[in-house]
Structure 1
Amino acid sequence: MTKRYGPQTALADVAFTVEAGEVLGLIGPNGAGKTTLFEAVAGVLPADSGTIFWHGAPLPPALRRRSIFYLPDGLRPWRDQYVERVLAFFAGVYRTSDLDVADTVRAVGLAPVLNKRVLALSKGYARRLMLALALITPHPLLLMDEPFDGFDLRQTREIMDVLRKVAAQGRSLVLAIHQLLDAERICDRFVLLAEGHVRGVGTLGDLRERAGILSGGLEEVFLALT
């Protein structure tokens, strides 16, 4: 996939695969093209070239909303609505059962604020709400931009457990994550993105081998490859 803004190339022939039940980390600094890539894959932003394949067949933008749900960073819609009403609306749209909604609310720790308006939520609870909305959809592929933003260490670990369970049930997650230690803990594989170019794809072991590093974390590997 390629995307240009005038003379600037935001995405340069970016290509990777995502497997069923996989947590794939999209890793890169600010300005690397992560959000542009998510928007292009989801069909929100038109790409200049490139094709999304779904089970081997091309998936045009008009059909992507059936398979792909994109959760942007910093989104807080329906500010005057109550949390419980927003959840009920989403559940009605996607025909999600009351039991599944209740399980999701419990999993992400949203119960204490069900009777609050969205505008009154803290950053952490606003993020929990958006995660809950993504998880009660039926889409097999979830794109999440900074899913742990607003959480402390313990809360991040709790949400990681939730997302790993979601992946274990067969859904695929692509997570854009700034904190590389968090990415190491939750992701099965990584796509390293810098200046719109893919610098490496694979497990941490694969990327170490490519970088010629015998040991070290994702941070060291990223710096070596970019």
Structure 2
Amino acid sequence: MTDTKAPDSSRRSERSRRAIYDAALALVTEVGYGRTTIEGIAARAGVGKQTIYRWWPSKAAVLLEAFLDLADQAADGSYDFPDTGDLEADLKTVLRATVDEMNNPVYEGPTRALAAEGIVDPVLGSQFVEKLLEPPIRLYVQRLRSAEAAGALRPGLDPRTAVELFIGPLTHRWLLRTLPLTHEYADSIVEYALSGLSPRG
């Protein structure tokens, strides 16, 4: 007998969703956020634009979800922050990895697009912070609290403010593109933040 089972619509939908993710990320990297359109994403993905509008309200929403999926795949579904007992070494490891990601064209284009759009779109901006920035920040906070408990940091510090000493300078240099973003720069941020700028003794 001939197998006449109906096509699996869930598998077809997943293929379409994956194609839309890939198309959105590719287009924003190739032509920029301003020239990326729902029509362009649909054409690149081989789907009708109504398919996209059925799942997302805007191209920003498409890009955010696509980028979150990309980041989740890169992390293999999990996030980790090393805790070797050497806070300085652990921070340098994480900041060096952050530099590599910021310099990677696969991540750079979508991240810049989302950061810029989040400034003018408060809803997208809050989602960008909540879903993309907060998870790694919480890991920083956890590691700093562990270091404080071990006596490696002074007691009573505000870990959220301390985190900004590490990620703020990286983000500033990355946004302005005035100077290269390197491992050496990441290391110096850690050393300055942990040791301070005042003379010892």
What's the TM-score once normalised by structure 2's chain length? 0.31
The structure where helix makes up a greater share of residues is 2
The structure where strand makes up a greater share of residues is 1
